[in-house]
Amino acid sequence: MNENSFFGDVCSFFDHAAQFTKHPAGLLDQIKACNSVYRFRFPIRRNNGSVEVIDAWRVEHSHHMSPTKGGIRYSEMVNEDEVMALAALMTYKCAIVNVPFGGAKGGIKINTKAYSIAELENITRRFTVELVKKNFIGPAIDVPAPDYGSGEREMSWIADTYYTMNPGALDAMGCVTGKPIALHGIQGRREATGRGVAIAIRECMSVTEDMERLGLSVGISGKRVIVQGLGNVGYHTAKFLAEMGAVIVGLCEVEGAIYNESGLDVEEVFAFRKENGSILDFPKAKQRFKDSGEGLEQDCDVLVPAALENQITADNVGAIKARIIAEAANGPTTPEAASAFTGRGGIIIPDMYCNAGGVTVSYFEWLKNLSHVAFGRMDKRYEENANLTLVNMVEQMTGVSLTQEQRTQVVKGASELELVNSGLEDTMVRSYHEIREIKQRIEGVKDLRTAAFVGAIDKVAVSYMNLGIWP
């Protein structure tokens, strides 16, 4: 294994954490290794009549629980090492937030901008056929989801292809998550990862002891944040942080970065980039950097890398001024950089917890698909009628009448979106304090990533032991 690889980085973090557990070496090797690596190639016919061969992968890292779960990345930079690393992170991520899946990941080596929509559909459907042929997809086997370069559209093609090849399969729509609402998706999935990142940062900054050590006041209000990446995750993270009272002082994209110590309006920047193709000429920016990496090095309290892996390395970590790094992307900080940053007192909110909002809500979508009923449909009206009866009784007994606005707020039953967001928030809050408790309890565990790995290893180990493989 190449120790400089992404998978090597994940294994390095794993090995460091494993020393704080008491599991036998053989069990640790089983947990760390990728169980199944499927590399395949398939031909497609382009619109101009030429034939092109596409490289693709699906990796199932751990079968300690079924199904396995993980996104499909569409990128010309994707490779086997990256897919293996992302699959491993998914295993640990699911364990950390108590979602009952094993980890998996997929990749298709293409530049999506170089293909028409019809060609992308052809590629996605053929990819799905290959997975079906090898039994690498199914609601009880392996459940893909969106990732970099893919979204609801691609997930709908996958679901339709799977159902076409499995006619009459009652739970077929549970073969993939991140689908459009009209195709049995779930409210809140699109923004789930970004919302989860924002909640993770909020929880981190709610701990008085930790913030005093960093020299920061408690709470997220007024804290200066730089976000790298204005894709789905970065955009929603910045949006929700701003709603919580944070000040977005910097935004970084592939074309460069912008900075304004007084704050940037995320919606305005996003709209400007959509219209002009770049953030660099945004009129309200005070500073502009053609090198996106320079944007990471500007003054802030929280840095949110929400793009790709290996963005913070030994070469630039010394210039990072943030005191908290919230890893919205997978693997944005190398082990050397992470050690240097935490060694000087900084806090890293690790990726496998920080960006777990997506898989958490994907779990809710999967449950919805298996139960064949939307959340809230059965009890929303009953809840509203019961609340209304209670309000009427209280008003009669006290003689105090609520305003129409107050009455509506009290009586209203929970919608699917509200239930999803409630479940997501509860998951992220509980998981953060569970990780922090491990860090506080185990001597020698000095950072949240190690604590998260320790917790994940313990949970996966228990699952394997329950299978009867280890005594």
Catalytic residue numbers read 105
DSSP code at position 403: P
Q: What angle do CA 277, 74, 190 make, to 5 degrees?
A: 70
* 192-204 and 416-441 helices, crossing angle to 10°: 40
> Would you list the DSSP string of 116-137?
-HHHHHHHHHHHHHHHHHTT--
List Cβ neighbours of 379 (8 Å cut-off, separation of 6 or more).
Answer: 413
List Cβ neighbours of 311 (8 Å cut-off, separation of 6 or more).
Answer: 228, 293, 296, 305, 329, 332, 333
List Cβ neighbours of 331 (8 Å cut-off, separation of 6 or more).
Answer: 6, 9, 10, 85, 86, 89, 309, 310, 351
276-to-37, 270, 281, 284 alpha-carbon distances in Å: 41, 10, 9, 15
* 104 touches 142 (CB < 8 A): yes
CA dist 469 and 471 (Å) reads 7
103 sits in which H/E element: strand 102-108
Please count the other Cβ atoms lying within 10 Å of the Cβ belonging to residue 167.
7
Backbone angles phi, psi at 196, to 5 degrees: -65, -40
CA dist 292 and 311 (Å) reads 10
3-class secondary-structure state, position 77 = coil
CB neighbour class for 435 (10 Å; exposed up to 12, middle 13-18, buried from 19): buried
* 251 touches 238 (CB < 8 A): yes
Token readout for 434 is 């569970």
Backbone angles phi, psi at 103, to 5 degrees: -90, 145
CB neighbour class for 331 (10 Å; exposed up to 12, middle 13-18, buried from 19): buried
CA dist 305 and 315 (Å) reads 16
3-class secondary-structure state, position 450 = helix
3-class secondary-structure state, position 239 = helix
* 6-18 and 448-466 helices, crossing angle to 10°: 80
